[in-house]
Structure 1
């Protein structure tokens, strides 16, 4: 639940008292009822807001500064700092070191924090008055201009790029059509014509009609977002996967000089590789395979195979391929006691399959359930290992 304007103003004024009172509270799910009662006793009608703030700060620990104002919703929706940093890197490359960025859905200022940290100038606006007040508090002293404005109202002049993060859910359901985002993507483009624009979206949207760059970003194995960049920010690319892992950034693109051959499918090699989700969502499995000297098991399925595991990633040493109906007996023959199950292209529930296997052995193993041609198969492998 977000805050009212009065609650935001109170939280900003009473920050020292709030820090002192909440320091001794557990603020866990089990203690929350008692904690809220304590806070209501101390802060009166503002007790709920203090509890919300304390819980949001705890969930955002390590992601956002702990002296920031935030509600649970804004903390959950915030872009991870590593993803924002990657976006600012692209903007600086395309627009220069002193570009002006207008974030038209600034929320509590998380994107602005990274923009300013990297030396660009920042304008933030949002239709939610409470969010703009929190952004002003969070970015105070950082030379940020914050205003309450509808994202579809062109309220700034001279900005070098527009950043937008439309709402991705409506009525509790995830939006899959860019034209149904809040605000809709076509309306954003109409409101800011002839300007470079970067629109943050959910990775599962249909981007087939976007003529600029679709950049899908993952952090430590989890896909965080897709960002749509207009062509003037794209450096000639139309698809990109950015894989951020342990502080290292790997970038895979669809530049024409990296175009894969038509036929990349073949029999299993020494290892089975499950590409990072950003590579799969960006449609760059073939390009990644070419770069890493791998090949596909089936041209329609996003599993790869080869005789090495790419550096910094994981894979499974291939043992044998068996029909699905013989998997239970094969796993027993390999003395499997636990199993990691990966499924793609076949209607199999991993949890149900694990129960059916009734493993009683001693060895950790893995099984990749997939389709090769018209056959549903099980690829029995050793446990996951890292290169």
Structure 2
């Protein structure tokens, strides 16, 4: 959205038009656009309103009904923190006894809204003028929050007792940036601020290697309904659990934390496939805590390099999905095809880990026929390619 579009939207007539639009439907967008233009409404306003209507509809997955009163940019929405995750961020600052948080890279203001929502004073900053203007609109209901346009690294930190940053990890063309030195702002420059304000929190992409994490950070990978969305780095009073790695699993309104014991991540043995197979949550895998899940379910690894756990006991554990093992066999296309045809399997779920097999190609090669459904897991067991036939418990 350009400045002219934002100006048009913020005028009383513009905001009224945006509020009056029906729920966004891609099939009707062109029809609505033509009708509004025929009625004499400024084409700049029409384009801006329909763009915001589309982004609001998309934002519901992250921000729920809050999205209906917000403005967005495409890039800002993609990087915005989910509402429930932002709430957990905010509680860290509140529970640490902090009162004034500087959000150095506020984007559209999703995290700043969460901070203000728990009663924290917020100074939010963004280097992009349009984004800062949109954040100002989104924070309009929070008098304890102010937005500044500028480089967050140069923000006046007088009176600030907590810092937060979510560095941009895409180029201007949308390509992902994997080198922390190429983040905007660079990771090392943000980390340097903890010498002035020890209570520093960072949101980063979950794929960052462990070797890039500072030794004094509590690194917590976060998943929402099984989708790994970020890793948070917490320092000083924001990490009462101390340096280390953990996983926060959010699902169905519940929150579960997986963390190693006082002796560090659990080390478990490799053993034969038992009666049950457990697939740890992705955040647990990213945090390197598969062994801790194995210990919780009285299990063992199927292979030293594979994040599948097997056990002879059934446990209801929020950190892993449990499957009953129905059959096992060495990997072979003809063997698997015959097995499935004997059982009339026409619908097959293929899960894989540690194998180069492409599920869609395999499905075509199997030429499935029948009405039954089945699930197979393609993986390595003690170094050998195996097929596990399973059903979710």
Same fold (TM over 0.5): yes
| Alpha-carbon separation, structure 1, partners of 2:315 and 2:35 | 54
Q: CA deviation at 1:21?
A: 4.8
Q: Please name the residue that 1:348 is paired with.
A: 357
Q: Please name the residue that 1:369 is paired with.
A: 378
Is contact 2:345–2:372 with CA below 8 Å preserved after alignment? yes
Consecutive unaligned residues of structure 2, counting only runs of 5 or more, are none
Q: Please name the residue that 1:230 is paired with.
A: 235
Bigger drift between 107-116 and 40-49 goes to 40-49
| Match for residue 199 of structure 1 among 202, 224, 230 | 202
| Alpha-carbon separation, structure 2, partners of 1:39 and 1:164 | 40
| Alpha-carbon separation, structure 2, partners of 1:231 and 1:330 | 57
Q: CA RMSD of the aligned region, Å?
A: 2.1
Bigger drift between 368-377 and 229-238 goes to 229-238
Instruction: For residues 22-69 of structure 1, give each alpha carbon's deviation from its aligned partner in whole angstroms, at most 9, with x where no partner exists.
Output: 23xx64333333333344452332222111111111112362331112
| Alpha-carbon separation, structure 1, partners of 2:126 and 2:19 | 31
Instruction: For residues 301-355 of structure 1, give each alpha carbon's deviation from its aligned partner in whole angstroms, at most 9, with x where no partner exists.
Output: 0011222142455322101211111222222234323221111111011111112
| Alpha-carbon separation, structure 1, partners of 2:81 and 2:281 | 19
3-state secondary structure, aligned to 2:250: strand
Change (3 A) 1:378 1:231: farther
Bigger drift between 57-66 and 143-152 goes to 57-66
Change (3 A) 1:36 1:111: same
| Alpha-carbon separation, structure 2, partners of 1:133 and 1:107 | 10
Q: CA deviation at 1:237?
A: 3.7
Q: Please name the residue that 1:110 is paired with.
A: 110
Q: Please name the residue that 1:248 is paired with.
A: 254
| Residue 125 of structure 2 corresponds to residue 125 of structure 1 | yes
Compute the TM-score of the two structures, normalised by the length of structure 2: 0.89
Is contact 2:4–2:44 with CA below 8 Å preserved after alignment? no
Q: CA deviation at 1:192?
A: 5.3
Q: Please name the residue that 2:79 is paired with.
A: 77
Q: CA deviation at 1:248?
A: 0.5
Instruction: For residues 116-139 of structure 1, give each alpha carbon's deviation from its aligned partner in whole angstroms, at most 9, with x where no partner exists.
Output: 112222111111122222222221
Q: CA deviation at 1:258?
A: 6.0
Change (3 A) 1:59 1:92: same
Return structure 1 stretches of 4+ with deviation > 6 angstroms: none
Q: Please name the residue that 2:291 is paired with.
A: 286
| Alpha-carbon separation, structure 2, partners of 1:44 and 1:172 | 27
| Match for residue 323 of structure 2 among 313, 316, 329 | 316
| Residue 387 of structure 2 corresponds to residue 378 of structure 1 | yes
Is contact 1:237–1:254 with CA below 8 Å preserved after alignment? no
Q: CA deviation at 1:243?
A: 0.5
3-state secondary structure, aligned to 1:48: helix
Instruction: For residues 213-259 of structure 1, give each alpha carbon's deviation from its aligned partner in whole angstroms, at most 9, with x where no partner exists.
Output: 21110111111111122254322141111110101001011342464
Q: Please name the residue that 1:5 is paired with.
A: 3
Is contact 1:68–1:138 with CA below 8 Å preserved after alignment? yes
| Alpha-carbon separation, structure 1, partners of 2:229 and 2:175 | 18
| Match for residue 33 of structure 1 among 30, 33, 36 | 30
| Residue 156 of structure 2 corresponds to residue 144 of structure 1 | no
| Alpha-carbon separation, structure 1, partners of 2:224 and 2:180 | 23
| Alpha-carbon separation, structure 2, partners of 1:50 and 1:335 | 52
3-state secondary structure, aligned to 1:256: coil
Compute the TM-score of the two structures, normalised by the length of structure 1: 0.90
3-state secondary structure, aligned to 1:308: coil
Bigger drift between 35-44 and 155-164 goes to 35-44
Q: Please name the residue that 2:307 is paired with.
A: 302
Q: CA deviation at 1:282?
A: 1.3
| Alpha-carbon separation, structure 2, partners of 1:289 and 1:194 | 41
Number of residue pairs aligned between Structure 1 and Structure 2 = 377
| Alpha-carbon separation, structure 2, partners of 1:268 and 1:340 | 20
